[in-house]
Amino acid sequence: MSNALLPGAQIDGFTILQALGTGSAAHLYRVSHPVHGEALLMKTPRLGPDEPAFGVVSFETECTLLPALRGPHVPRFVASNPFSPLPYLVMELVRGRDLKQHIRPGGLPLPELTELGFAIATAAHSLHRQDAIHLDIKPDNLLLREDGDAVLIDYGFAHHARYPDLFQEESRLAVGSTPYMAPEQAAGIRDDPRSDQFALGVTLYQLATGRLPFGIPATLAEVRSRSWTRPTPLRALRRDLPPWFQEIVFTCLEPEPERRYASCALVAQALSHPDSVLLTERATRMKRDGWFERLWRTWRHDPEPAKGRRAMPLSPSEQAQVAPLFMVAFDPNEPDETLQRALRYAVVRILQRDPESRLACVALLETPADGSGASASERQHAYRIALHHWARQLEIPEERLSLHVFESTDPAQRLLDYARRNSVDALIVPAPHDAPSAFRFNRSFLTRLVEQAPCSVHVVRPPQA
């Protein structure tokens, strides 16, 4: 405890309340401040001749990155003073469950696994959209808020495209936690957001089985061996897990980033829409590779895949939007054919720009106030048929498409919640009009969407005569 602080000590108006322990690179305290509040966390780097040298660098990195990051998946930045003789960083003390508590020998039940996987993938995607990569995702660095949102903590090893990366160790000493680390990260590559997806895959594997897929490697050479060693199939350890779950986890664990999902949003989508997961050989593996297969894979693999690889041509935020999710919301029973056509043209034009983009088609349906007429399921069924007919004319592959019928007394709120939960990149809606349809895209509805949507809103109007 070279430079630890005692309760009651004051730094720049912050009062130390309680020591919360010592991490690999920093001391942690609960602190309060008359203006910033009671529930705060202060980090001070471990300084001194006997302390690890990377401590200062990771502290500096976190001081730079945390103020630049936003949203519920990052602890809110409060203050920092990296230049004072006693440097510190203060952030929100996230109240939530520790993901470590969820690791148990038999693994978690499937609904909890998909829920946690969805939450972590969504958190990682939110970070990638801000041009940052965490590079140290593991249960130790994940907290769960009461509403289910995952929070990624500790940005000491993170990378941000808009700031100089202070970790340039090349392969001499890769930074991050080795059981979770992607092979390309072990080779010193720090600008690929898909490295976070690999760590998410390791975390999910551990939550599902209580075991680490690649054990605890002692050397970097052992970390690199995961380029050709395949973990024991999940379903060999847990027969009750469905093939689609194994497909998703093993796609995340692909040694080559190009063979993983293009973005963490796609991992989240796969976990929340298992029907849409295309099953491959990954889903059907039931046995650990035999010695011959392992020998073959060792012999066949590229010894230095990172050599000759250029820096990522896309920044993390660009990479995160390689496979954007668009959402079109309308009334498929709209009688105005010119409007229907204009909407279809707009959707096709937008989808053409990104060959990997996906489309969620939403039929909006207001619950009748008087409860008269057909039953809810009959009503929704009729809408689903109309929606399917409309979407078929787009002529895009089924795996890029999902269909939804939202019946609600407050359809706008349903749309906004869906867009937020699924990290929708743009929302496409028809312009306000007075057609006598069951659901009206009136002005107040659209105003609310435009004001509250977590993304761009495209309002489509047919060409005027």
Partner 1 sequence: MPKIALLSDIHSNLEALEACLAHATRQGADTFAFLGDLVGYGPDPAATLERIMDFASAGAPVVLGNHDRAVWDDAVRLNPVARQAILWTRPRLTAAQLAFLQSLPLTHHLENLLLVHASAEQPEAWTYLTRETEAAASLAATEATWTFAGHVHHQLLFYQASDLRTHAFSPTPGVAIPLSERRRWVATVGSVGQPRDRNTAAAYALFDAEARAVTFHRVPYDWGRTIYKIYSQGLPPALAHRLSEGR
Binding mask 32-61 for partner 1 (x = CB under 8 A): ---------------------xx-xx--x-
C-alpha closest to that of 42 among 9, 73, 65: 9
CA dist., res. 138 & res. 24, Å (int): 14
Binding span for partner 1 by CB under 8 A among 169-177, 247-255, 276-284, 341-349 = 169-177
Q: Does 168 bind partner 1 (CB under 8 A)?
A: yes
Cα distance from N-terminal residue to C-terminal residue, the chain? 77
- Restricted to residues 66-85, the positions that interact with partner 1 (CB under 8 A) are 82-83
Name the segment binding partner 1 (CB under 8 A); options: 23-31, 90-98, 168-176, 270-278: 168-176
Which residue in 165, 256, 378, 410 binds partner 1 (CB under 8 A)?
Answer: 165
Q: Does 314 sit near partner 1 (CB under 8 A)? A: no
CB of residue 2 vs partner 1: minimum separation in angstroms?
A: 17
Give yes or no for residue 64 binding partner 1 (CB under 8 A). yes
Binding piece for partner 1, criterion CB under 8 A, among 5-13, 109-117, 161-169, 322-330: 161-169
Nearest-approach distance from CB 326 to partner 1, in angstroms: 27
Q: Which is nearer to partner 1, 57 or 362 (CB)?
A: 57
Smallest distance from the beta carbon of 56 to partner 1, in angstroms? Answer: 6
What minimum distance in Å lies between the beta carbon of 63 and partner 1? 7
Nearer to partner 1, 56 or 237 (CB): 56
Nearer to partner 1, 67 or 432 (CB): 67
Q: Total binding residues for partner 1 by CB under 8 A?
A: 20
Asked if 164 interacts with partner 1 (CB under 8 A), we say: yes
Q: Is residue 356 a contact point for partner 1 (CB under 8 A)?
A: no
Binder of partner 1 out of 70, 162, 259, 309 (CB under 8 A): 162
Q: Which residues of the shown chain bind partner 1 in the complex (CB under 8 A)?
A: 53-54, 56-57, 60, 63-64, 82-83, 161-170, 172
